[in-house]
Amino acid sequence: MNANVARHTLTTAITGASLALLSLHAQAAQTVNLGHTLSDSSHYSVGADAFKATLERLSDGEFTVEEHTAGALGGERAMIEGLQIGTVDIVITSTGPLGNFVPETYVLDLPFLFEDYEQARCVLDGEIGEELLDKMDEHDIVGLAWSENGFRHMTNSQRAVTTPEDAEGLKVRTMENKVHMEAFKQMGVHPTPMAFPEVFTALQQGTVDGQENPITVIVATKFWEVQDHLSLTGHVYSPAAVLGSPILLEGLSDEQRGWFEQAAQDAAEATRDEVSRLEREGIELLRENGMTVETEIDKEPFQEAVQPAYEIYTEQYGSEMLDRIRASDC
């Protein structure tokens, strides 16, 4: 074999080996499906982008993340069910439907439980929040991190609401959460639970008069197109959770599991930063788009109206977790 033929043979062999290695790496890369119900411009997507960036960086491309927005994988309840059977890998969700799977989390949905963001974040980032995440393992869900939606407020298409009496008789979409529903019943509101992807159309068609969500969600969904009035009731602090499928995560090495946990923490931090920004800027944006905003809300009558929701919760689940939150140093 002459020198030219030898060099050609060696080059061909090296090229073939390189291509084989690249092909093997491509085959080894695993796609992680991440779903949520909000738009690709929402605070959830900010969190999803952070999750993707961290996981792909730490894994050096071993995992790639594909984000599915706007309920493409179903409503929140359907996606949580998907985690349990392995058809969905990662979900960013409100706690609205989570209590149906992990009843211990219902405590977080009690109205007027937290005074401000600092207290809520402190509780969720501490021992209580960690304990609630661990509880999810018992229900075939992996709790990776506490993220955030923000304090929930009421909107409607009928009239300004500054007292519980103003809200009486309104048909308001709520999450599929019995604590929330009971609180609204006590205010004389007709709670109408439905999956989030159905809400905009229901408001547009007049099936319901209003809905309640944090400023982040109201802005991301452009509810100003179908709602005229916003009341800053701040009646419930709404966490979000980054959840994983045990079918995916339990098959990973400790190192790989650590990548997912860090990605979830980064997602939560990025989402909270976006919530804080929208809390500062979102109300003015809603005004600019035609909504009237009621800022002078006397919360005491609302707090009194929803007290029976606490009684119903403690009768069914006891008061231990509630007492611990109230007694925390946060």
**Domains, in order of start, for the chain:** 27-327 (3.40.190.170)
Q: What is the percent of the chain with per-residue pLDDT over 70, rounded to a whole number?
A: 92
What DSSP letter does each residue of 62-96 carry, written as one string? Answer: SEEEEEE-TTTT--HHHHHHHHHHTS-SEEEEEST
pLDDT at 20: 43
Average pLDDT over residues 74-97: 96
Reference 134, options 107, 104, 92, 94; nearest CA is 104
CA–CA distance, 171 with 179 (Å, rounded to integer) = 17
Is the pLDDT reported for residue 177 higher than 90?
no
pLDDT at 309: 86
CA–CA distance, 46 with 30 (Å, rounded to integer) = 22
The helix/strand/coil state of 323 is: helix
Reference 53, options 264, 250, 258; nearest CA is 264
Q: Which two tokens stand for residue 208?
A: 């319901």
Tens digits of per-residue pLDDT, 315-327? 999 999 999 999 9
Residue that the structure tokens 């059977």 belong to = 85
CA–CA distance, 139 with 7 (Å, rounded to integer) = 61
pLDDT confidence tier of residue 11, bands split at 50, 70 and 90 = very low
Average pLDDT over residues 146-160: 97
pTM for the structure as a whole: 0.86
